[in-house]
Each structure stands twice: as C-alpha cells, then as structure tokens.
Structure 1
Amino acid sequence: MPADDPSINLTHHFLIAMPGMQDQAFARSVIYLCEHSARGALGLVINKPSDIDLRHLFDKVELPLGRADLQRTPVFQGGPVQTERGFVLHEAVLAGSAAPTEPVYASTMTIPGGLEMTTSKDVLEALSTGAGPRKVLVSLGYSAWAEGQLESELAENSWLTVEADPAVIFDTPVEQRYDKALSLLGLQSWMLSPAAGHA
C-alpha cells in the first residue's frame, strides 16, 4: 500500500527504523503502534530499555512488586513525549463477569490484535498483588506523530512496517528485537542500505 494512501492504518504494526535514521531517540528502534488514524499516530519503543527496572519503578510509586518474574524486567524508554508518565502494554485481560470488550482498568486503550495499553495506576496495583496481566511491557514516555507526519516519514523511507507479533514484544530478548522484527519481513540488517532510496 503506498505511504500516501489516506486509508492506511498501521495500528498493531511495528515501525522498524531504517539504518539511515538520524534521530538518536529512534536509531535502530522498533516501535509498536497502539493507534494510527487520520489524526496521527501513537506508539511505544519496545527495544530501548532505560536504566531502571520494574522493582525500582514500583519502589518509586510506593507499591510492592508481587511478581517475582518481573523484578528485573527493564522499564523502557517508550519515546520522547511525557517521559514522566508510565504506559503499560499488555495482553488483553478479561474481567470475570464483564463483557470481553470491557477493559478491566480505568484508563485502557484496546488495540485490535489482542493487546491493550493502560495508563492508570490500577494495573500497577494489580501487579503489586501478584495479579494483573501475565505479559507486560512498561515504558516511560511514548512516541507520537501529528496528522500526516508518519505518512511523510514513510514516504521518505525512514521506517519499514510489518504487522506486529506480540512474541517479539514479550518473549524476545531486548537486544534481539530489532533483528527479530526485521525477520518478519524476511530481512536481515545487513541487507539494508543506510542511504534512503526511492524506488
């Protein structure tokens, strides 16, 4: 689909930075797009860990972390916008009695593809008791594009796109996520030229 097609919707896709990406915040990044519409796009970088882990984050918000499996999990740098705010990307959690379409947490965006992104503290409170979603990625900050901005970056060959695979987000070691995302396109990083070209 051409990048200037107004109907393009890359929700639940990965954006994979091309080698020529000059912006250090996004060099060699893989971004999971939570939302993409005519108004713009919002996503989380899934392969740039910060220098704090979840245990440290939970200490900061004065909650115990009741999940031994998450203690050493890094908190990610989700992007340059609102870097003091937490964003939790997780598998969809169904409430026992609620309809499956009803999010469990106060402020949750349901993403087609089986994932949710929650910004309310109740998801952290659930994790603190040992409950909550089994698979989570916590980031500080997010990445955003204004209307038409992402489309023009795609037209400039700044990004490759591919439908997201949650296994890359939750089951792949951080340092392998860039190459793993590329492999979804049948590519390896040595095949990409650092110079952006136009076909």
Structure 2
Amino acid sequence: MSAIARLAFVVVAVGVQTGFLGAALPTGQEERQPPPSLAGEFLVAAPEMGDPHFERTVILVVEHDPAGAIGIVLNRPVAEEPLANLLEAVGATNVGVTGSVRVFAGGPVKPEVGFVVHSAEYRKPATIAVTDRLSLTSSVEVLEDIANKSGPAKSLVAFGYAGWGPDQLDREIEAGAWATAEADPALVFDADRSTLWDDAWKRRTRRL
C-alpha cells in the first residue's frame, strides 16, 4: 500500500480551523473595515513566488475572513490511488470497490487530513458551500459515495491545505505574491494540471 493510502481521511470542518486561527487574534485593536473575502476565488502564485511550497500554484480559497484564510492547492498531483486503498486506510468497507482517483497535495498544513473539492449538487452535513458551483467535504462518507457511484459528478481529492493567519494573506497579496482570478469549475476539475497555472494566470482579475 502506498504512503498516500495510509493517510487518515479525517472529518474536519473548515470553520474549526478558522476558529483556531482566530484564537491568535490580538485584542483591543481599533475596529477597521476588513478587506473583501476571497473565499470562492483562485489565488495564482506570481511568477516571482520564491516559496517552493507555492511556486506556480493555483489555490482555491475556501475560507477568508479577519481570522485568516484556508485554501486547497489544485495543481500538485501526487499519485493515482485505487479507491479500495483509500477506503481501507480509513477503515471503510472496500469489498468490490473498483476504480481510482487522482490524489493531490492540497498544501503543507496537516497533510494527513483529506478534503474533497466537488461540484455543488452533492451535499452532506459536513459539506461547505464555497461558491454556488463548488463545495468542499471532508468525511469518509464522500469517499464511500464516490466509490459507490453516488458521489458528486466532479471531484478532486486532496490531502493537506494552505493556511494563513490574521491579515497574512492580505499582506502577501499587497506585496505582489499572489494574483486572484474567478474560480472556474472547469479549471478545478478538467484542466490539464501541467498548464493550470498558465491558464489561471491569463485569467487574473485583480490584486488587493
């Protein structure tokens, strides 16, 4: 069994992660108008990005508020993994399960935690609506449904996420580390990963 198959697919609510970031917020600061949320948009690494974790990455922003930000890297494929292996790794029934999914490195934070970015018609209690066309679920149930052909029409399985503390992402954008672009489901699920950064960079809309 590969290393990816041994990872635990853990149920994580994005709000919990954001709450953890919020615990680091300083108190007693003057209130100020927060910048507009980038949740549901792409972050596209600038060509000058020097951090090897994020060089030429395209990230779907899942959560962005004064407490911080969370996103899933979309163009770091790791392996094509049999669904039966993933289900076995999380203790779920895998008898008769066929097929495989492409597994991505979603970011450097908590690489043992699994997420599925998917089309919005699929919804479970653990699902978070990112846009009206994109959602995210982190539960064993979504993997089981994908294996049983009752899951979302489109999906991307990732382990780990990218995370920023309070105001950190806004400062990085202001410094020119990132551009933003509209989150197009066709780029999330169907585009060639080797050209995804180029495609997203051409569509960049603004910097904060």
Q: TM-score, normalising length from structure 1?
A: 0.78
Deviation at residue 50 of structure 1 after TM alignment: 1.4
Residue pair 2:182, 2:204 contacting (<8 A) in 1 also: no
Residue 154 to residue 60, structure 1, CA distance change in 2 (3 Å): same
Deviation at residue 117 of structure 1 after TM alignment: 0.6
1:113 partner amino acid: D
Distance in 1, matches of 2:191 and 2:151, equals: 21
Which residue of structure 1 aligns with residue 62 of structure 2?
34
- Identity in percent: 37
Which residue of structure 2 aligns with residue 191 of structure 1?
none
Q: Does 1:106 align with 2:140?
A: no
Paired residues for 1:138-149 under 5 Å: 138-149=157-168
Question: Unaligned 5+ residue runs, structure 1?
Answer: 95-103, 187-199
Distance in 1, matches of 2:135 and 2:47, equals: 29
Residue pair 2:87, 2:144 contacting (<8 A) in 1 also: no
Paired residues for 1:2-13 under 5 Å: 6-13=34-41
Residue pair 1:106, 1:122 contacting (<8 A) in 2 also: no
1:37 partner amino acid: D
Of 81, 87, 93, which residue of structure 2 is paired with 1:53?
81
Deviation at residue 109 of structure 1 after TM alignment: 1.2
Residue 156 to residue 148, structure 1, CA distance change in 2 (3 Å): same
Q: Does 1:150 align with 2:169?
A: yes
> What SS class does the counterpart of residue 150 from structure 1 fall into?
helix
Deviation at residue 52 of structure 1 after TM alignment: 4.8
Of 111, 123, 137, which residue of structure 1 is paired with 2:142?
123
Which residue of structure 2 aligns with residue 195 of structure 1?
none
Deviation at residue 106 of structure 1 after TM alignment: 3.1
Which residue of structure 2 aligns with residue 196 of structure 1?
none
Q: Does 1:166 align with 2:161?
A: no
Residue pair 2:82, 2:98 contacting (<8 A) in 1 also: no
Q: TM-score, normalising length from structure 2?
A: 0.75
